[in-house]
Amino acid sequence: MGKKSGNKSGGKAVAKAVTSASSPAEAVRLLIGKGKVKKKCCRSKSRCKKCPLTALKQVKAEFAKAA
């Protein structure tokens, strides 16, 4: 069994949300609407890849990189 390939919260989806949103929070809301990110955090110790907190951190990094 290999690594699963599927939709991840990072990558193209985050970049696309960043270009169409005016703020990081709005970009995360777009990702939630598309089903790329969960609505609520499950509060696990190591944040899962569909966590809204992880997505917000990635989006903020993309906004900083774009500025």
Answer yes or no: is 56 within a domain. yes
The pTM assigned to this predicted structure is 0.75
Give the tokens for residue 42.
Answer: 């499950």
Answer yes or no: is 7 within a domain. no
Answer yes or no: is 51 within a domain. yes
Determine the pLDDT at residue 64.
Answer: 92
- Give pLDDT tens digits along the chain (67 positions): 555 555 455 578 888 888 888 999 999 999 999 999 999 999 988 889 899 999 999 999 999 988 7
Give the tokens for residue 17.
Answer: 């949300």
Answer yes or no: is 1 within a domain. no
Contact call for residues 53 and 39 (beta carbons, < 8 A): no
Note down the domain range covering 17.
Answer: 12-66
Q: What's the rounded Cα separation, in Å, for the pair 22 and 43?
A: 27
Report the chain's terminal Cα–Cα distance, integer Å.
41
Answer yes or no: is 46 within a domain. yes
Answer yes or no: is 27 within a domain. yes
Q: What's the rounded Cα separation, in Å, for the pair 28 and 5?
A: 22
Give the total number of structural domains in the chain.
1
Give the tokens for residue 3.
Answer: 């690594």
